């Protein structure tokens, strides 16, 4: 009987989705005014419904995921000015359960990063 109760309790709990921010990397330096494609992957056995992009605590983008179990999001963001920004992605599944945020901190500069030529 204990097993039946334990299983019933577990069935009522939805496992939250998992979101992982892949790009940009933590500590990256980005140029102001240049669009960045924020890449993330989210997983949920119940299906990912959408993925949110947050910058410094404000939601800036939502991408529908069509309830896929594994979803790769590409969300565009343009840094408005030089400074330090915290980027977060959160996934929400078909049961309206949100993931823990996956976050990075980036520094936006007024000059583009120098490129290295290797001829």
What CATH number does residue 90 fall under?
2.60.40.10
In a domain, 8, yes or no: no
In a domain, 117, yes or no: no
| Domain count within the chain | 1
Domain containing residue 39: 16-109
In a domain, 11, yes or no: no
Question: Averaged over 73-87, what is the pLDDT?
Answer: 97
**Cα distance between residue 50 and residue 97, in whole Å:** 11
Would you give the DSSP letter of residue 98?
B
- pLDDT tens sequence across 8-37: 444 556 799 999 999 999 999 999 999 999
In a domain, 80, yes or no: yes
Report the phi/psi class of residue 77: left, alpha or beta, with left for phi > 0 and alpha for psi in -120 to 50: beta
In a domain, 1, yes or no: no
In a domain, 53, yes or no: yes
**φ, ψ (nearest 5 deg) of residue 5:** -65, -45
Higher pLDDT, 12 or 72: 72
């Amino acid at each position: 009987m204990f097993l039946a109760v334990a299983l019933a309790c577990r069935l009522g709990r939805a496992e939250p989705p998992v979101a992982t921010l892949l790009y940009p990397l933590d500590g990256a330096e980005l140029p102001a005014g240049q669009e960045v494609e924020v890449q993330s992957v989210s997983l949920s056995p119940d299906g990912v419904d959408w993925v949110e992009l947050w910058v410094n605590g404000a939601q800036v983008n939502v991408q529908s995921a069509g309830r896929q179990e594994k979803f790769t999001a590409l969300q565009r963001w343009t840094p408005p000015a030089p400074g330090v920004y915290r980027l977060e992605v959160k996934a929400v599944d078909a049961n309206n359960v949100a993931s823990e945020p996956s976050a990075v901190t980036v520094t936006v500069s007024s000059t583009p990063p120098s490129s290295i030529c290797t001829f």
